[in-house]
Structure 1
Amino acid sequence: MVFTAKYRFQILEGMVKSLVEYDLQLISSWKDVQVIELNIQKDHIHLVFSTPPKVSISEYIGILKEKMVIKLFKTFPNLKEKPYWGNHF
């Protein structure tokens, strides 16, 4: 799975990258998803994972994106300002 930041803004570095990596691991362990490979670049994330049969891929991705983005915007409110994108990630 590949996630990109809206408009490919290069924001996934430093503390933002650390927070995304931590949250991704935390949410994955909460849903019993095994993260096989994770690579975070400045404007996108590569994620290889294995889900148990009881968890659908769309459910996992939806929860992952929702929880990560909410925490990102609470921790870094400057991401809601221009030239970025408001409440969208």
Structure 2
Amino acid sequence: MVFTPKYRRKVIYNQRRKDIGEILRTLCRYKGVEIIEGHLMSDHVHMLVMIPPKLSVSSFMGYLKGKFALMIFDRHANLKYKYGNRHFWAEGYYVSTVGLNDQTVAKYIREQE
């Protein structure tokens, strides 16, 4: 999965980077989603996850992006002024399924700069 902050603002760094990673791990754990590999770039997120079959990808992404926005604005109230109406993430995301090549995808994510 790849998704970006609204307007591709470079907010995923320093103190917020730690909070962003923690929130993403917490939300995935709540839904029983296993994070195999993940990397926070300065303006987007790469994640290789294993989503349970009972959960659709689109409903999980809606949950992840929606709940994440609420949690990050609770922790960092000053972000509300940059991202009006509590919209932290841009619309849309990229998702691709992997099977036999999951090791290749994990390596790609791990080696991101």
Q: TM-score, normalised by structure 1?
A: 0.89
Give RMSD over aligned pairs.
1.1
1:76 matched to 2:76: yes
1:60 matched to 2:60: yes
- Partner SS for 1:49: strand
**C-alpha deviation, 1:32, in angstroms:** 1.1
Higher RCO structure, 1 or 2 (CA under 8 Å, sep 6+): 2
Distance 2:21 2:83 in 1: 21
List alignment gaps of at least 5 residues for structure 2: 89-113
**C-alpha deviation, 1:85, in angstroms:** 2.8
Q: TM-score, normalised by structure 2?
A: 0.72
Please name the residue that 2:29 is paired with. Answer: 29
1:88 matched to 2:87: yes
Q: Greater CA radius of gyration, 1 or 2?
A: 2
Corresponding residue pairs, total: 87
**C-alpha deviation, 1:59, in angstroms:** 1.4
Read off the aligned partner of 2:87 and give its amino acid letter.
H
Runs of 4+ in 1 over 2 A off after TM superposition: none
- Partner SS for 1:35: strand
